[in-house]
Structure 1
Amino acid sequence: MIVPSLPFTRAAARPDAPALRDDRLELDNAGFAAAVAAAAVRLQAAGVGRGDVVGLLLPNRAELIVGLFAAWRLGAAVTPINPVLTPVEVEHQVRDADVDVLITVDGTAPIDGVRPIAADDLGIGAPAPADPPPAAELGPDDLALLIYTAGTTGKPKGVMISHGNIDAMTASFIEHLDFGPDEHSLLILPLFHANGVVLGTLTPLRAGGQATIVGRFKADALFPAVEKYRPTYFSAVPAIYAMLSALPDDVEPDTSSLRLVVCGAAPMPAELIAKFENRYGVVLVEGYGLSETTTASTINPVAGPRKPGTVGRVLPGQQIRIADSDGNDVPAGATGEVLIAGPVVMQGYLNRPEDTAKTLVDGWLRTGDVGRFDEDGYLVLVDRVKDMIIRGGENIYPKEIEAALYENPDVFEAAVVARPHPVLGEVPIAYVSLNPNATTNTASLLAELPEKLSRYKIPVEVILLEEIPKNPVGKIDKPTLRRRPETAG
């Protein structure tokens, strides 16, 4: 496997070349390898070994990437954890992934039974250890990442990404995007997502380039970072491009270092693509993928022709079919479910054999997305089979919110749907009907949610109805709710 050994192969070839930085520290290749070796010593002392899972409960900072490579050196997998999750949500991921050691900012763990390590105690900046742990022999099927994605059952599930998946995905990006040793990523997406880890960090490192990690995204701080660090690309979601396009007219940054920018996570209006490209003079390529495909399966070509309104061509090494409900290919140009195959497709969902069997069928990943290929072989996404809401690039499944609402005994029925938003793309709103003699109200229902859900999952509005509409077979009729004026915004 190529990627796990990158800190050491890079140090051997070009020890003084830049590798990784954030706003606190800067590592060349030799320093990066020394940091990974020191962190591996610390993790090994904490009992981490082959087959274990290390949790990374950190904001965007260099220690997260160092910890990832250190765990891989020992043969362990990692699961990055969103630092804004509630303690209940963190505990679910930690328990589900069977995490024993958790790297945190302050060296404390929010749950019992887990050994914490402070990020500052990983040994970054210290001399390289004289006798670092030997590199574990890793094969393509060995588990590398557990990326947690919202589940239709209301609980996030762990997407099992192997080292073979990562090697295939990074190679595919390098070929399609023509990355080389001069590539420099400005990482603005969160590192608990596959995009931030794989496209934002591992791919430029494999290409021989470098990655600069910034903290939480702020629209007025991005272009100053571009001018300071001179990256060649960054990856973002439509909401970020909308905010950048809405900056005051007197914001005229020097974007000459940027060769391209990438957009994913949600469909981006063609008008917004044109607005961003025309204002800032940067090529924007839109793509499509899932955590289950280790980041992406299609991207528009950098050199063109680029087709706004599509998510581009199939990436090297992957296959996409458009199928009917029985899994049969539809006629050319017809609409159906998007199915994906290739070495980037996940191993499955951790501890969820039934979900895995429903999603991976005869070697094909059933995405739940509806699309078609145009006459030039570009993928056009038409709709989503699933009810997932994408708020500023964050995936939200309504059932998780509905489950939280149902914990209030006054709630009889709850249904969550998406409301369009000009910047975030979509936001959740909840329709609720109450039991007889209920005493709760919408304010009380909303006030209960911050203890159960991350802030981005909380509905922007709770609307009380005497009765939630049903379809002829008695199921909640979400299409009718989506047509209500409160939903349309």
Structure 2
Amino acid sequence: MTLDHLPWHRPAAYDDRPCVRDERTELTYRAFAERVDAAAEHFAARGVGRGSVVAVMLPNRVELLVAIMAAWRLGAAATPVNPTFTAVEAGHQISDSGAVLVIDGDNVADLPTTPGGTLPPARTESGDLALLVYTSGSTGRPKGVMLDHGNVDAMIASMGEAIAIGPDDHCLLVLPLFHVNAICVSFLTPMSAGAQLSVLERFHPVEFLRAIESLRPTYFSAVPTIYSHLVALPAEVQADTTSVRFAICGAAPAPPELFAAVEHRFGFPLVEGYGLSEGTCASTCNPVDGMRKPGTVGPALPGQLVAVMAPDGTLVANGERGEVVIKGANVMRGYLNRPEATAETLGDGWLHTGDVGILDEDGYLRIVDRIKDMIIRGGENIYPKEIENVLHAAPDVLEAAVVGGPDPVYGEVVVAFVSAAPNHTVDVDALLARCRAELTKIKVPVALHVLDALPKNPVGKIDKPALRARLSGA
């Protein structure tokens, strides 16, 4: 383990190299390290130490990166919180993680920028908890994925080798930094090589292209929805994208036609990858230089083993369908305070993804289905149970089911079906208002259908395939 991405392990030759910038700030590697030490002193004065957790609830900006590194400087972990969360959603993550300090828009201005030199030498061990990344599950309550520094270091090494990141690279970060994808692929991987990073607070198609023209990045990572917006721009919107040597697409399935359209319009290769938070981000990716297979998410990344497993636990031959399973030093330690969920996901030594896939004769993976009942909206994972819990809490609702409805821009959107409790009438507007009060905007159903009764399968469970078919037919 090298931990070259940490400021206190950087070579002296990096000191004056451009490190990170956003719309407000531009820092060299030396200046970034000073900001980290100053913030760490600030955290230490507020009780943060080894084993603590710091919650960082900020939009994309340099201070978010400083806060994560400052926690690590003290031997603490960071849990990045979606800044658009409602108080209920944020409160659960902050409480469940045991965070002793929250850095948000109200106190980020208090972070000092000049260190006083009061910190002892950093002690960063492979087994130290680095990140608590929250992801939902079948219970509907988000749970903390525990990623230690060994996991993070393995992910950086795996991705860095696969995409050949070097000191002359420059990443344009546009994905939200509460996602491990943005943290690992866009932030930590270039930091490990002395490359530079430019942070965008949000995505706007025209502004994004203007940023490529002015900043001259060599790569970026995004989700299918972003690429759909870019190729949908009017033909007269032109931009010089010749600095970009490749781009990465992940987080949700994308049709091969989208990849062809991006490459035709902008001239750089677009490679598709696959992974999940429990694997510290990515486990497969089509090669930047080499054979890319449309419709697949590529072969296993260096240092990882990706296989397909039958229900009886045996690995199946190439060409056969089964659950995608993963091994490698990037696989999480487990779920925080959830031993049963950890055993279910990791118990046999493999990370069980819940996705159904097929490996071809060259080891390229094709995702063909999902075991888990998950909706992917523009790269955001949404778990229906969390939304169903909110709907079920309404006294006039007897049953509720949430499924993904097809959408030309986002791939899938949230659609809800409910039936009324006896002697009650469902007030759709009131029910949607309840959702807006308790859920992030992307989780609020775009449509809510009231049925006399929800369809059931032969064993009496709500028949979600029938509901999805109803939407597809519509």
For the pair 1:450 / 2:436, whether they are aligned, the reply is: yes
Q: What runs of 5+ residues in structure 1 fail to find an aligned partner? A: 107-117
C-alpha separation in 2, matches of 1:135 and 1:338: 42
User: Could you give the per-residue CA deviations for residues 139-181 of structure 1, whole angstroms, max 9, x where no partner exists?
Assistant: 2221000001122211111000110001000011111111100
User: CA shift at 1:480, angstroms?
Assistant: 1.0
Alignment of 1:223-234 (within 5 A): 223-234=209-220
- Are residues 1:119 and 2:108 paired? yes
What runs of 5+ residues in structure 2 fail to find an aligned partner?
none
CA distance in 1: counterparts of 2:253 and 2:290, whole angstroms = 19
CA positional deviation for 1:424: 0.5
Amino acid at match of 2:280: T
CA distance in 2, matches of 1:333, 1:72: 43
- Verify: 1:235 aligned to 2:221, yes or no: yes
Superposed counterparts of 1:105-144, under 5 Å: 105-106=105-106, 118-124=107-113, 126=114, 128-129=115-116, 131-144=117-130
Report the 3-state secondary structure (helix = DSSP H, G, I; strand = E; otherwise coil) of the residue aligned with 2:10: helix
Task: Give the match for residue 468 of structure 1.
Answer: 454
| Equivalent in the alignment of 1:34 | 34
Q: Distance in 1 between matches of 2:317 and 2:6?
A: 44
Q: For residues 139 and 33 of structure 1, do their structure 2 counterparts lie closer, same or farther at Cα, with a shift above 3 Å needed?
A: same
Q: CA RMSD in A?
A: 1.2
- Residue 214 of structure 1 is matched in structure 2 by 200
Q: Which residue identity is paired with 2:268?
A: V
Deviations 1:19-55 (A, max 9, x none): 0111000000111111011111101111100000001
Q: May I ask how many residue pairs the two structures share in their alignment?
A: 474
| 80 and 4 in structure 1: CA distance in 2 versus 1, 3 angstrom threshold | farther
Q: Tell me the residue number matched to 2:79.
A: 79
Contact 1:40 1:132 in 2 (8 A): no
Question: Of 365, 370, 379, which aligns to 2:351?
Answer: 365
Aligned to 1:13: 13
- CA shift, 1:11, in A, is 6.4
| C-alpha separation in 2, matches of 1:242 and 1:284 | 13
Length-normalised TM-score, structure 1: 0.95
Secondary structure class of the residue paired with 2:303 = coil
Per-residue CA deviation, residues 302-331 of structure 1 (Å, 9 max, x unaligned), is 012111100001000000111111211113
How does 1:39-54 map onto structure 2 within 5 Å?
39-54=39-54
AA partner of residue 109 (structure 2):
D
In the TM superposition, 1:207-286 aligns within 5 A as 207-286=193-272
Counterparts of 1:161 and 1:32 in 2: how far apart (Å)?
A: 23
Report if aligned partners of 1:160, 1:350 keep a CA contact under 8 Å in 2. yes
> Per the alignment, do residues 28 and 382 of structure 1 end up closer, same or farther by CA in structure 2, a change over 3 Å counting?
same
Alpha-carbon distance in 2 for matches of 1:406, 1:34: 50
Q: Does 1:63 align with 2:52?
A: no
- Give, as a single letter, the amino acid of the residue that structure 2 aligns with 1:104: D
Matches of residues 67-466 of structure 1 in structure 2 within 5 Å?
67-106=67-106, 118-124=107-113, 126=114, 128-129=115-116, 131-466=117-452
Post-superposition offset of 1:272: 0.6
| CA–CA distance in structure 2, aligned partners of residues 423 and 207 of structure 1 | 35
Q: Distance in 1 between matches of 2:423 and 2:263?
A: 56
Alpha carbons 1:371, 1:382 under 8 Å: kept: yes
Further displaced range: 278-287 or 138-147: 138-147
Q: Aligned partners of 1:78 and 1:231: how far apart in 2? A: 28
User: 1:64 offset after TM fit, Å?
Assistant: 0.8
Q: Which amino acid in 1 is paired with 2:324?
A: V
Secondary structure at the aligned position of 2:162 is classed as helix
- Superposed CA deviations along residues 318-355 of structure 1, whole A, max 9, x for unmatched, are 00111111211113210000010010000001111000
Match of 1:480 in 2: 466
Give the Cα separation in 1 of the matches to 2:307 and 2:54.
Answer: 36
